[in-house]
Structures are given as structure tokens and as C-alpha cells.
Structure 1
Amino acid sequence: MRRVLIMSAPASASVTGKAGIDLDVGWKLHPQVALRPEPFGALLYHFGTRKLSFLKNRTIVAVVESLPSHADARSALRAQGIGDDTAAQYARALGTLAESHMIVPA
């Protein structure tokens, strides 16, 4: 199964089915996940589940790469210039990654 994460919807758009993650918790890539940068964003491959995810936004790639160096996801978002007004759409994207075990609590 592969998943495509596209972050082009405005913050006011509703996205159903994804509640997001707790931004006040630290997150990191699962130890069995490899992130490969691509011109469009990045590929994430989980060697344990054999799932493939596409990150089609360079900002979310930067957030995911910086998660281990921040105490919580909110700090990682702020470090990329993402304020609380637009954090919800990124929380939903991170929630999708958490549901597929691409990222795990630190």
C-alpha cells in the first residue's frame, strides 16, 4: 500500500478522517523507515511493513527530518515557520504518518 501526502489545501479546508497527532509529544522516524529526498518532496519506505509513503511538500519533509532534534512536534513545526494558525493541516499529515507507523513517539 502506498500513501500520498499532499499539503496544498488551505488551513480552513476540512479534511475528514484524520485527527492529527499530539503536537506536544516528541516524535521520530520509526527505526525501520528510510527517508529518501526527491525533487517533488520525499519517499518514506517502512522495511517492516513494506509500506511506501510520498511526501509531496518540502515543508513537511523538513518537519519530519527535524522531529528528532526537537522536544515536541510543535517545536519542529515552529522551527520551519509554521504557526499555530496552519499547524492543524500539518498535524493531520503527521497523524497519517503515525497511523502507518512511519513516525513513532520519541
Structure 2
Amino acid sequence: MRRLLDRRGEIVNPDAPWRLHPQVSVRPEPFGALLYHFGTRKLSFLKDRALLDAVEALESAPSARAALSDAGIPPERHETYLSALQTLVESQMLEERAA
């Protein structure tokens, strides 16, 4: 099973539930979206509409993997998108939520 690293180097489970950090705002754009974290003042670019769809699906999905499937991302591409989600976890744009 593939696991993601969080910003502290701990292993986090892509089968766990995730969400946008409460201080993150999403602005959809033609290229994907901009994410802005009001606490850290970091800005992230999502250059893929499917990634935006997956990020938006995180709140209601039981896991990151389920959010990818809900966004229509085929299983053979999940590893690529899990890597992108890992980057968002490391930049504090995403956080694990209670199950």
C-alpha cells in the first residue's frame, strides 16, 4: 500500500479521510485552481482540473483514494495524484479529518 509523508515526515494513510484545511480558500481558474492558506500565507496552484475535483471531493469521501475515484481519476493514475495530494499535505493545504 502506498503511503504519503506529511510535513513532519510521519507516514499518513491515503485510505484515511482528508479535507482542506479550514484556513484554505479555493479559487477555481481555467487552468485548475489557486489555493490560498490564510494562516501560512502560502499559495498553491492546481494545474489540473481533475486534481481540483479530487480536492473538492475530499470532504465527503471516506479516503483520499475514494476522492480520486469520485473525481473520475482512473486507478492506474492514482499514484500520480496521491503524490500531488502529498505535496498539499506538506504545505498544510490539506489535513486529516476525523472518520
Q: TM-score, normalised by structure 1?
A: 0.78
How many residues align? The count is 88
Q: Which residue of 2 aligns with 1:40?
A: 31
CA distance in 2, matches of 1:82, 1:41: 15
4+ residue runs over 4 A deviation: none
- Tell me the equivalent position of 1:83: 74
Aligned-residue CA RMSD in angstroms? Answer: 1.3
Query: How many Å separate the matches in 2 of 1:80 and 1:60?
Result: 8
Deviations 1:61-103 (A, max 9, x none): 0000110011111111111222331100000000000000000
1:84-99 matches, within 5 Å, as 84-99=75-90
Give structure 2 stretches of 5+ with no counterpart.
6-11
> Any unmatched runs of 5+ in structure 1?
1-18
- 1:60 match: 51
More contact order relative to length (CA 8 Å, sep ≥ 6): 1
Please, what TM-score do these two structures have when normalized by structure 2? Answer: 0.83
The one-letter code sitting in structure 2 at the alignment partner of 1:23 is: P
Deviation at 1:58, TM superposition (A): 0.1
